[in-house]
């Protein structure tokens, strides 16, 4: 069963938006899909949108597939399909924004489609790409597994074509063995993909953004500490940027073992471990913990353990 | 007080009278006298400023930007290759709205290298957001350094300004200059007092990484400031005239244009020579006039349109080439006069410092007159250049 | 001397910045600014630290921040310092530049400020490549290291030149203070920042700052890798005060450079011969710094199981 049984040339252009986090390989997935589509005789383009953020931050990538040359050079606003490489993104980003009513959401999740709440009821496919990747690739890089689910759910591309592109593209960069394994991850995901409809209960509030017009923008873009309807701006305003979604693991400290040597507090690159001076204690604010694990690694008495941030 | 001094000296005195606070400097001919004089002022205790001997022009403009962001009044000077070397920083300083004033001793930008006057150094900075103006004599050089700070620091503008003076023709030529009293300048130019500066007491971030959601508004804002500068320039010219009795006309100046039939748009020192040529033409009964283009940015579109409205033909003097035929001024003028039917012809002369003689200027008027008479002439004319003659 | 306990808990570089998890630069900036305090103004040239520290309209810095270009840290510090001095304000004028911005494109500007002995603090955050643009070789890249411009090819594998000796270049300007730092030695780190803060004239702090994607390593081991660098002699902790050089931390018996290399994917391809070459370079340096011969036998290195790389992943994070 495909959500999209018709071949590309009957439906016109097919547009895909990938949601991932820096480091998960969303761009590579978009490119691999494009290459596979071209190998099937279609025309395809893939391109990234790079934000300013680094590893772990949300990123976007796009693929367009058509039977004829594609001239459009804009971003994709009304995709036929969205692919979500990391289901933690569902909490903060409206991943189905602009998705066509008959469009498909493909989500890396251990849940069934019926248990995924996308804020609207739409065709949804899920696959636990993370566990497949961990098992086959020994790393939580889910881009190839999720492509298997894409092939299964959309029917836009044959799984064999994807396997071919993956082997070539990953093999060329990382060695034939890695290519084979990634192709296997795609095939495994293809077979394990569940299809159904999402739930449509939650209301995702669009993140407010301060968008001053040209008269309101401070002269020369120079900012002092300020507050807008959308929150803080200027020096120190990053404090409103919660980055916990980046974390796969988070530290848990055993107070009994802790000697208050303060090394974790010193090393934490985020500044998310605080001293509570009146109690001579430490507190970790998980809102800002990206789960790097330096604190646990450096603790001289082994008082910190890293645990999965989301189960 | 009258002093017989070089253009460079006049510029240096102008900067001193403005009580500049930080002067980063790097030598380049023919700008050197400017920074040498300022170094003298500082070391003799005549000017209480930080004089910084930087190791390149790029560093000059970097230090200038940083000092300006801290709230200091900053002056420097450069020329040619030096201006090119700091090109990147021109694009940093204008949109960050740092009102630095930098004199440019106009000089050919190589290769092949040369040290004499040409405008291809500053013309290439056209789109940086810097205001630029061209002066005719040493008095104007000094007066415009002073006016430049008023324009740059005006809250409606807040942009860097580049007064350009012709290399050697002014920089190394002495002529009498009326030097104003310090007290007069102090009442004309108040201390620089910006709103947001780098100050630990009130932290600011200046020059942050800026995503696409904001940059267009910032560009539009900068474009608006350049536009606002037009009114400010006129205003300050009027105030300066009232106070010091010297009227430069603001964005443009005109000479014998009231009943003129043909005119030449001139810049810099060639304007001066052309005044004598026009007087001679007038003696011969020819109704010739001069439009002196003082500001190249902002470009005085409205003023030009008005000035040429009764002309039969217009000539444009260009001291650099844009490598697609005409010079940059010609193309700006054509664009400004779009929709008007007046013939406009380009006169390229004086590139690389070749002397622009009265005979050549006569020839420019002669060709312009031909165009006025309906005779077909070339649109672009290379004067005093070997090969076919114009 | 400030101890960890006495160190300020005020975050002048706030949480919520967007550096990669385990970023050695973020760690070093946070702690340097803790010691420097709020009467500080920073200049940051083009680098990751501009992007993860300020993205309009947000910022992590709680002290004044300025940025214009890549190659001009020295000059901008000079300009800021001159303006503050003219205004009679006492402010720590501090630059945080990367290795590319210091060893390469910014060398001239840094040299100018050093030679003029301007009263500023120049901090070089050395992560041994152009990381902001996606891991390209700089003058600070060590021998053998993979970068995207020193790829592991069929004919040429990794960087073929040795890390530039920046310390001697800076010290040759006869400045009052130059020191090397590592986040893995907190007390030494704090002491040097504090010392630099209180000296007048041009001061240079050279910080060793691991880059997780650029060095291809586990983010949890950022601090550990700096310690191994010091133990192996790849990084030495010393200071030069008014021309007098002093080792501030001397490791025990020299560890094989292999221990250090094996932690990082960027070295995983290195041949035994290349490791030997690098080991000899380290031994020479060790000998120079510690005035003792220390050349442990170069052990055989196990060949990597496969050509390690997640280059596409890194490219994706850092932009083209």
Tens digit of pLDDT for each residue in B266-281? 999 999 999 999 999 9
B390/B359 Cα distance (integer angstroms): 13
Mean pLDDT of chain B: 97
B175, B286: one domain: no
Question: CA A199, A249, C25: angle at the middle one, nearest 5?
Answer: 120
Distance CA B74, CA B19 (A): 9
Residues B165 and B282 reside in one and the same domain: no
Q: At residue B346, does pLDDT exceed 90?
A: yes
Instruction: Report the mean per-residue pLDDT for chain C.
Output: 91
Do the chains contact at C57 and A52, CB–CB below 8 Å? no
Question: Residue A224: closest CA among chain B residues belongs to which residue?
Answer: B204
Q: Are A13 and A66 in contact (CB under 8 A)?
A: yes
**Domain identity same for B238 and B268:** no
Nearest-by-CA chain A residue for B96: A220
pLDDT of residue A88: 86
pLDDT bracket for residue A2 (50, 70, 90): low
pLDDT at C295: 55
Domain-terminating residue out of B214, B244, B274: B244
- pLDDT at site A4: 58
Domain interval for residue B281: 252-382
| B166 in the same domain as B52 | yes
The answer on pLDDT for A55 being more than 90 is no
Residue A9 pLDDT > 50: no
pLDDT band at C2 (very low <50, low <70, confident <90, very high): confident
Distance from CA of B89 to the nearest CA of A (A): 15
Q: Which residue of C has its CA nearest to B96?
A: C68
Check residue C194 and give its pLDDT. Answer: 97
Look at residue C319 in the predicted model and tell me its pLDDT: 36
pLDDT digit string, tens, across residues C173-232: 999 999 999 999 999 999 999 999 999 999 999 999 999 999 999 999 999 999 999 999
Say yes or no for a CB contact (<8 Å) between B62 and C76.
yes
Query: Considering its fold, how many domains does chain B have in total?
Result: 2
Dihedral of alpha carbons B215, B221, B223, B225, sign = negative
Q: Is residue B154 part of a domain?
A: yes
Token pair belonging to A257: 């073992």
Pair (B13, B156) in one structural domain:
yes
**Are C15 and A272 an interchain contact pair (Cβ–Cβ within 8 Å)?**
yes
Is residue B86, in this structure, part of any structural domain at all? yes
User: Which range has the top average pLDDT, B225-229, C253-257, C285-289?
Assistant: B225-229
Q: Tell me the C-alpha distance between B343 and B366, whole Å.
A: 14
SS (H, E, C) chain C: CCCCCCCCCCCCECCCCCCCCCCHHHHHHHHHHHHHCCCEEEECCCCHHHHHHEECCEECECCCEECCCCCCHHHHHHHHHHHHHHCCCCCEEEEEEECHHHHHCCHHHHHHHHHCCCCCEEEEEECCCECCCCCECCCCCCCCCCECCECECCCCECCCCCCCCHHHHHHCCCCCEEEEEECCCHHHHHHHHHHHHHCCCCEEEEEECCCHHHHCCCHHHHHHHHHHHHHHCCCCEEEEECCEEEEEECCCCCCCHHHHHCCCHHHCCCCHHHHHHHHHHHHHHHHHHHCCCCCCCCCCCCCCCCCCCCHHHHHHHHCC
> Average pLDDT, stretch A80-90?
93
Q: Which residue of B has its CA nearest to A237?
A: B205
Q: What band does A10 get if pLDDT is binned at 50, 70 and 90?
A: low
- A292: chain C residues, CB-CB within 8 Å: 21-22, 212, 219-220, 222
pLDDT at residue A149 is higher than 80? yes
Encode pLDDT of C124-169 as tens digits: 999 999 999 999 999 999 999 999 999 999 999 999 999 999 999 9
Closest by alpha carbon to A205, among A305, A76, A91?
A91
Do residue C20 and residue A54 have CB atoms under 8 angstroms apart? yes
Same domain, B61 and B205: yes
Scan for tokens 């390149």, then name that residue: B56
What's the whole-number mean pLDDT along residues B86-94? Answer: 98
B253-271: b (≥16 Cβ within 10 Å) or e: bbbbbeebebbbbbbbbbb
Q: What pLDDT is recorded for position C298?
A: 46
B109-115 long-range contacts, CB within 8 A, separation 24+: B109/B80, B109/B81, B109/B83, B109/B84, B110/B80, B110/B81, B113/B81, B114/B352, B114/B353, B115/B29, B115/B30, B115/B80, B115/B167, B115/B168, B115/B353
Which residue reads 């107070």 in tokens?
Answer: A255
Q: Give the per-residue pLDDT at C296.
A: 52
Structure tokens at A232: 């803080």
Round to whole Å and give the CA distance between B95 and C85: 26
Number of CB pairs, chain B paired with chain C, less than 8 A apart: 157
pTM of the prediction? Answer: 0.94
User: What's the DSSP call for residue A88?
Assistant: G
For B46, the token pair is 């005549």
Question: In this complex, is the C-beta atom of A139 within 8 Å of any C-beta atom belonging to chain B?
Answer: no
- Are B219 and B290 in the same domain? no
Q: Which range has the worst mean pLDDT, A128-137, B132-141, C38-47?
A: A128-137
Q: Tell me the pLDDT band of C320, cut-offs 50, 70 and 90.
A: very low
- Return the pLDDT at A311: 52
* Residue B389 domain-assigned (yes or no): no
Can you give the pLDDT at residue A309?
A: 79
The lowest-confidence range among A51-60, B52-61, B246-255, B328-337 is A51-60
What pLDDT, on the 0 to 100 scale, is given for residue C294?
55
In-domain check, residue B150? yes
Which of B244, B272, B300 is the last residue before a domain boundary?
B244
Estimate to the nearest angstrom the gap between the alpha carbon of C309 and the chain centroid.
Answer: 23
Mean pLDDT on A244-266: 92
Do the domain assignments include residue B179? yes
What residues contact residue B179 under an 8 Å CB cut-off, 6+ apart? B1, B2, B3, B13, B17, B142
The CATH number that applies at residue B261 is 3.40.50.920
Q: Which residue of A has its CA nearest to B217?
A: A214
The pLDDT, as a whole number, for residue C302 is 45
The b/e string for C180-195 (b: 16+ C-beta within 10 A; e otherwise) is: bbbbbbbebbbbbbeb
- d(C-alpha B14, C-alpha B244), whole Å: 14
Q: Are residues B34 and B87 in the same domain?
A: yes
Residue C311 has pLDDT above 50, yes or no: no
Burial of C157 (0-12, 13-18, 19+ CB in 10 A): middle
Q: Provide the percentage of residues in chain A whose pLDDT is more than 90.
A: 74
Mean pLDDT value of segment A215-236: 96
On the question of a cis peptide bond just before residue B112, with omega within 30 degrees of 0, the verdict is: yes
CA distance B135 to B144: 8
pLDDT at A198: 94
A217 to chain B, minimum CA–CA distance in Å? 7
Q: Are residues B262 and B343 in the same domain?
A: yes
Q: Which of B244, B267, B287 is the last residue of a domain?
A: B244
Based on the fold, state whether residues B67 and B201 are members of the same structural domain.
yes
Residue B201 CA to residue B226 CA, distance in Å, equals: 31
Eight-class DSSP state of B129: S
Query: Are B125 and B227 in a shared domain?
Result: yes
Distance of alpha carbon B147 from alpha carbon B125, whole angstroms? 21
Cβ–Cβ < 8 Å for C23, C51: no
Residue B222 in any domain: the answer is yes
The answer as to whether B387 is a domain residue is: no
Average pLDDT value for residue range B130-139: 98
What are the residues of chain C with a beta carbon less than 8 Å away from any beta carbon of chain B? 38-41, 43, 50-51, 54-57, 59, 61-69, 71-72, 74-80, 82-87, 89, 91, 108-109, 111-112, 115-116
Q: Is the pLDDT of residue C303 over 70?
A: no
The reply to whether B350 falls in a domain is: yes
Q: Are residues B10 and B125 in the same domain?
A: yes
Q: Which of A215, A219, A234 to mutate to test the interface with B (most CBs of B within 10 A)?
A: A219
Three-state secondary-structure class, residue B335: helix
Q: What is the CATH number of the domain that holds B220?
A: 3.40.50.970
């Amino acid at each position: 069963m495909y959500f999209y049984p018709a071949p590309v040339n009957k439906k016109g252009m097919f547009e895909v938006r990938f949601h991932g986090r820096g480091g998960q390989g969303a761009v590579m997935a978009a490119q691999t899909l494009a290459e596979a589509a071209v190998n099937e005789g279609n025309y395809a383009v893939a391109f990234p949108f790079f934000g300013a953020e680094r590893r772990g931050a949300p990123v976007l990538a796009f693929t367009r597939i058509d039977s004829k040359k594609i001239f459009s050079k804009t971003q994709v606003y009304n995709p036929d399909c969205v692919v979500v490489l990391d289901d933690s993104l569902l909490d903060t980003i409206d991943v189905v924004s602009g998705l066509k009513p008959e469009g498909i959401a493909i989500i890396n999740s251990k849940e069934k489609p019926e248990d995924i709440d996308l804020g609207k009821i739409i065709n949804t496919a899920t696959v636990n790409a993370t566990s497949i990747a961990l098992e086959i690739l020994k790393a939580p890089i889910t881009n190839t597994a999720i492509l298997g689910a894409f092939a299964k759910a959309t029917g836009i591309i044959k799984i064999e074509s994807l396997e071919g592109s993956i082997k070539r593209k990953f093999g060329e960069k990382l060695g034939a063995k890695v290519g084979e394994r990634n192709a296997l991850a795609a095939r495994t995901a293809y077979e394990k993909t569940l299809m159904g409809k999402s739930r449509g209960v939650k209301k995702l509030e669009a993140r407010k953004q301060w968008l001053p017009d040209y008269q309101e923008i401070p002269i020369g873009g120079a900012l002092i500490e300020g507050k807008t309807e959308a929150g803080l701006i200027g020096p120190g305003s990053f404090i409103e940027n919660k980055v916990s979604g980046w974390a796969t693991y988070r530290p848990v400290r055993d107070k009994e073992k802790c000697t208050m040597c303060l090394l974790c507090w010193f090393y934490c690159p985020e500044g998310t471990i605080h001293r509570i001076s009146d109690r001579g204690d430490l507190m970790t604010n998980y809102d800002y913990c990206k789960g790097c694990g330096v604190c646990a690694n450096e603790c001289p008495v082994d008082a910190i353990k890293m645990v999965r941030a989301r189960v | 007080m009258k002093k017989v001094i070089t253009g460079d000296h006049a510029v240096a005195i102008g900067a001193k009278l403005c009580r500049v606070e930080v002067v980063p400097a790097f030598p380049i001919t023919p700008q050197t006298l400017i920074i040498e004089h300022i170094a003298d002022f500082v070391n003799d205790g005549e000017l209480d400023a930080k004089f910084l001997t930087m190791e390149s022009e790029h560093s000059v403009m970097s230090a200038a930007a940083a000092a300006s962001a801290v709230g200091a009044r900053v002056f420097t000077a450069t020329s040619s290759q030096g201006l090119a070397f700091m090109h990147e920083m021109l694009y940093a300083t204008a949109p960050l709205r740092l009102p630095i004033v930098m004199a440019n001793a106009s000089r050919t930008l190589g290769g092949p290298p040369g040290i004499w006057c040409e405008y291809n150094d500053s013309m290439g900075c056209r789109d940086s957001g810097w205001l630029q103006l061209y002066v005719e004599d040493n008095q104007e050089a000094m007066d415009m350094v002073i006016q430049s700070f008023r324009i740059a620091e005006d809250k409606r503008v807040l942009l860097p300004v580049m007064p350009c003076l012709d290399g050697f023709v002014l920089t190394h030529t002495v002529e009498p200059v009326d030097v104003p009293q310090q007290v007069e300048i102090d009442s004309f130019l108040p201390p620089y007092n910006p709103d947001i500066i780098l100050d630990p007491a009130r932290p600011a971030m200046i020059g942050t990484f800026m995503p696409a959601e904001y940059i267009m508004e910032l560009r539009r804002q900068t474009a608006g400031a350049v536009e606002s500068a037009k009114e400010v320039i006129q205003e300050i010219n009027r105030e300066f005239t009232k106070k010091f009795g010297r009227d430069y006309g603001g964005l443009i100046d005109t000479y014998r244009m009231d009943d003129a039939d043909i005119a030449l748009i001139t810049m810099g020192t060639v304007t001066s020579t052309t005044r004598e040529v026009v007087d001679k033409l007038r003696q011969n009964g020819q109704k010739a006039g001069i439009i002196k283009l003082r500001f190249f940015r902002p470009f005085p579109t409205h003023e030009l349109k008005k000035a040429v409205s009764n002309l039969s033909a217009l000539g444009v003097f260009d001291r650099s080439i844009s490598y697609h035929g005409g010079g940059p001024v010609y193309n700006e003028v054509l664009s400004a006069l779009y929709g008007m039917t007046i013939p406009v012809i380009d006169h390229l002369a004086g590139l690389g410092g070749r002397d622009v003689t009265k005979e050549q200027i006569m020839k420019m008027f002669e060709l312009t007159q031909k165009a006025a008479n309906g005779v077909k002439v070339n649109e672009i004319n290379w004067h005093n250049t070997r090969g076919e003659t114009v | 001397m400030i101890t960890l306990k006495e160190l300020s808990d005020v975050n002048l570089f706030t949480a919520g910045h967007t550096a990669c998890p385990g970023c050695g630069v973020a760690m070093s900036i946070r702690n340097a600014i803790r010691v420097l305090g709020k009467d500080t103004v920073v200049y940051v040239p083009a680098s990751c630290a501009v992007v993860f520290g300020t993205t309009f309209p947000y910022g992590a810095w709680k002290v004044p921040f300025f940025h214009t270009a890549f190659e001009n840290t020295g000059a901008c510090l000079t300009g800021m310092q001159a303006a503050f001095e003219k205004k009679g304000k006492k402010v720590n004028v501090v630059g945080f530049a990367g290795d590319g911005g210091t060893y390469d494109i910014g060398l001239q500007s840094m040299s100018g400020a050093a030679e003029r002995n301007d009263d500023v603090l120049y901090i070089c955050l050395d992560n041994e490549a152009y990381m902001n643009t996606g891991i390209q070789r700089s003058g600070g890249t060590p021998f053998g290291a993979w970068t995207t411009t020193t790829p592991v090819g069929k004919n040429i594998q990794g960087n073929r030149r040795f890390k530039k000796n920046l310390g001697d270049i800076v010290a040759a300007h006869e400045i009052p203070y130059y020191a090397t730092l590592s986040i893995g030695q907190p007390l030494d780190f704090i002491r040097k920042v504090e010392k630099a803060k209180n000296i007048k004239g041009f001061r240079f702090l050279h910080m060793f700052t691991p880059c997780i994607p650029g060095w291809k390593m586990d983010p949890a081991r950022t601090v550990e890798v700096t310690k191994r660098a010091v133990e192996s002699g790849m990084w030495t902790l010393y200071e030069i005060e008014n021309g007098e050089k002093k080792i501030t931390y001397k490791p025990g018996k020299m560890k094989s450079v292999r221990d250090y290399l094996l932690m990082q994917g960027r070295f995983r391809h290195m041949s035994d011969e290349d490791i030997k070459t690098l080991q000899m370079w380290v031994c020479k340096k060790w000998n120079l710094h510690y005035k003792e011969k220390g050349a442990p036998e170069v052990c055989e290195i196990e060949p990597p199981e496969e050509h390690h790389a997640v280059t596409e992943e890194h490219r994706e994070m850092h932009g083209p």
